[in-house]
Amino acid sequence: MTPETPKLIPAPLSAETAGGPGFPLDAATGVEAGPGAERTARWLRTAVGAATGLPLDPAAGDARRVRLRIRPDLEGDEAYRLTVDAERVLIEGGGPAGVFYGAQTFRQLLGPDAFRRAPLHAGRVWEVPAVTVTDAPRFRWRGLMLDVARHFMPKEGVLRYLDLMAAHKLNVFHFHLTDDQGWRIEIRRHPRLTGIGSWRARTKTGHRASPLWEEKPHGGHYTQDDIREIVAYAAERHITVVPEIDVPGHSQAAIAAYPELGNSDVVDTSALSVWDTWGINPNVLAPTDTTLRFYEGVLEEVLELFPSRFVHIGGDECPKDQWRRSPAAQARIRELGLADEDALQSWFVGHFDAWLTARGRRLIGWDEILEGGLAEGAAVSSWRGYAGGIAAARAGHDVVMCPEQQVYLDHRQAPGPDEPVPIGWVRTLEDVYRFEPVPPELTPEEARHVLGTQANLWTEVMEDQGRVDYQAFPRLAAFAEVAWSALPAPAERDFAGFERRMTAHYRRLDALGVAYRPPAGPLPWQRRPGVLGRPLDGPPPHR
Ligand code: TNX
């Protein structure tokens, strides 16, 4: 009988099961790292050590050891080879990241209980099946965006999401830190951003037909120490944190804190408070020197905290109405010799592109930054379908593909009336699995500008971690496979095979305590009388 192929997610390039006895992991097993692999050894001792209760001591197990090695001849820094037989486990990576991904696969081979935070019972026997896995990612940007502005996620929750990302071999955490409904990062030189901007008095919770407000303040922010901890925790897991400071739209929380940032010649900005509802907000930043200097100050502190090459400046959904009506904005357009308000936004983005470039960083923004002309070094997050990404790649700009039609995980997962999310568009697990980040329109040369892809978690409809889990999973597992694995064209993808492997993955998610949407049977709130899903609604009111 041929041994069963391990049910790995995301699928590796190849996994060959040899048959015969596997590798026993016990109190005598050592974990030993060669140069450059120490971080992963630490992670293994922490994560697998906690789940198994085994010491995984570097000095133990003279013969039977888990050995971690860098092998520069492997194809790329993130590539790895994992070899298991009765005598040894050898995890080799092209670079430190590859060793880490090999260790992640090793944990999957150990079985679902290896994902627990503490051993289920003492003295159990662990065995890793004999196998050789060879693997490397398809894309170098395998991202997840988390919106902590609409609903704040405490630091511990963010660290937990970094662990969940690492378990799925994702490597870019796009941290959406500011929006109309909240400013979430401490900026020392502008303390009111969090002092005022991180709290709102109430939150819209109802659906379109019968809006309701929860009359309870909502807020929270990360101190700079919190941010440092998050960035370091991510780095230990080979995840880059890309911060987003959204300008010139989605800025009402900042304007509520500092009214001089808004278009005070057309609206009484001193009367604005942090926004308590959803959609596209008309109160955008004034295109003044005051605003530029203020945000340069913000970004100076952001650059100190985030080593990421890319810094996201938002740029999405900036209505131009106030700029059209504002004498000051119009004077600025004339003074700069610009054609119109779109060109004014381009000028605004261009300013920060040059500012970031001069500091050795690169600007990335949502695809609206294409309107009115794309700044020279800018990269684009293509969210309104593929069009923005195609245009940007053709113009020689780098692109991250994240079209809302496929990878917006805030959209509902099924059409049924019991789905908890009012958003009318349905993006099923299979839709996500069949998402192709590189559109066929691009030539191979242009396609090289597609850095990769990310899934976006906007949190208007996710008020706590349970809801975030429910929206993220299981779709994030399908997304991880799209981002990592060498899948064929969408129509040829073996979704049934993916679902079969998911049977093992659901057990891992159970062990991790993830409140995923169950693949069958009642939804969590249908099991608890009195807690119902929300009624079906159309698309969000702003589109
Ligand atoms: C559009 S995607 C937005 C977000 C919303 C999201 C809801 C993007 C750049 N802007 O502000 O949260 O839709 O799906």
Does any ligand 1 atom lie closer than 6 A to the CB of residue 278?
no
Does any ligand 1 atom lie closer than 6 A to the CB of residue 316?
yes
174 a catalytic residue: no
Residue 404 and residue 386: Cα distance in Å, rounded? 9
The pLDDT of residue 536? 44
Catalytic residue among 78, 135, 179, 469: 179
Does any ligand 1 atom lie closer than 6 A to the CB of residue 126?
no
Residue 445 and residue 44: Cα distance in Å, rounded? 39
Do 128 and 22 touch, CB atoms closer than 8 A?
yes
Does any ligand 1 atom lie closer than 6 A to the CB of residue 410?
yes
Residue 323 and residue 268: Cα distance in Å, rounded? 14
Question: Cis omega before residue 55 (within 30°)?
Answer: no
For the domain made up of 141-487+509-526, give the CATH fold.
TIM Barrel (3.20.20)
190 a catalytic residue: no
Position 346: which residue type? S
| Degrees, nearest 5: CA angle 59-63-67 | 65
pLDDT by residue, tens only, the chain of 543 residues: 456 789 999 999 999 998 889 999 999 899 999 999 999 999 999 999 999 999 998 876 667 899 999 999 999 999 999 999 999 999 999 999 999 999 999 999 999 999 999 998 878 889 999 999 999 999 999 999 999 999 999 999 999 999 999 999 999 999 999 999 999 999 999 999 999 999 999 998 866 666 788 888 999 999 999 999 999 999 999 999 999 999 999 999 999 999 999 999 999 999 999 999 999 999 999 999 999 999 999 999 999 999 999 999 999 999 999 999 999 999 999 999 999 999 999 999 999 999 999 999 999 999 999 998 888 889 999 999 999 999 999 999 999 999 999 999 999 999 887 788 878 899 999 999 999 999 999 999 999 999 999 999 999 989 899 999 999 999 999 999 999 999 999 999 999 999 999 999 999 999 999 999 999 877 766 654 444 444 444 444 344
Ligand 1 pocket test target in 404, 412, 457, 461 with most atoms within 8 Å of CB: 404
Q: Which residue has the tokens 């911060």?
A: 243
Going by their DSSP bridges, the two strands 65-70 and 89-93 should be labelled as parallel
Catalytic residue among 151, 190, 250, 449: 250
Say what the pTM is: 0.96
CATH of domain 14-135: 3.30.379.10
Burial tier of 38 (Cβ tally within 10 Å: 0-12, 13-18, 19+)? middle
Residue whose CA is closest, atom 13 of ligand 1? Answer: 458
Contacts of range 529-535, beta carbons closer than 8 Å, 24 or more positions apart: 532/418, 533/416, 533/417, 533/418, 533/419, 533/420, 534/207, 534/419, 534/420, 534/421, 534/422, 535/207, 535/209, 535/417, 535/422
The pLDDT of residue 302? 99
The pLDDT of residue 417? 79
Contacts of range 205-212, beta carbons closer than 8 Å, 24 or more positions apart: 205/463, 207/422, 207/534, 207/535, 207/537, 208/422, 208/537, 208/538, 208/541, 209/535, 209/537, 211/277
Does any ligand 1 atom lie closer than 6 A to the CB of residue 368?
no
Position 240: which residue type? T
Residue whose CA is closest, atom 4 of ligand 1? Answer: 458
Position 138: which residue type? R
The pLDDT of residue 18? 82
Does any ligand 1 atom lie closer than 6 A to the CB of residue 498?
no
179 a catalytic residue: yes
Largest CA distance in the chain: 80
All CATH 3.20.20.80 domain ranges of the chain, comma separated, are: 141-487+509-526
The pLDDT of residue 189? 98
Q: What residues form DSSP beta bridges with 82?
A: 91, 133
Q: Which residue has the tokens 């959209």?
A: 411
CA-to-CA separations, 63 to 26, 59, 60, 84, 386, in angstroms, rounded: 13, 11, 9, 14, 53
Ligand 1 closest atom vs CA 179: 11
CA of 457 to the centre of ligand 1 (A): 9
Does any ligand 1 atom lie closer than 6 A to the CB of residue 458?
yes
Going by their DSSP bridges, the two strands 126-128 and 199-200 should be labelled as unpaired
Cα 189 to chain centroid distance, Å, stands at 28
| Degrees, nearest 5: CA angle 127-130-135 | 115
CA-to-CA separations, 112 to 24, 70, 519, in angstroms, rounded: 16, 27, 18
All CATH 3.30.379.10 domain ranges of the chain, comma separated, are: 14-135
Give the CA count within 13 Å in the CB-facing half-sphere of 491: 0
Residue whose CA is closest, atom 9 of ligand 1? Answer: 316
The pLDDT of residue 525? 62
Do 463 and 471 touch, CB atoms closer than 8 A?
no
Catalytic residue among 113, 163, 317, 342: 317
Does any ligand 1 atom lie closer than 6 A to the CB of residue 113?
no
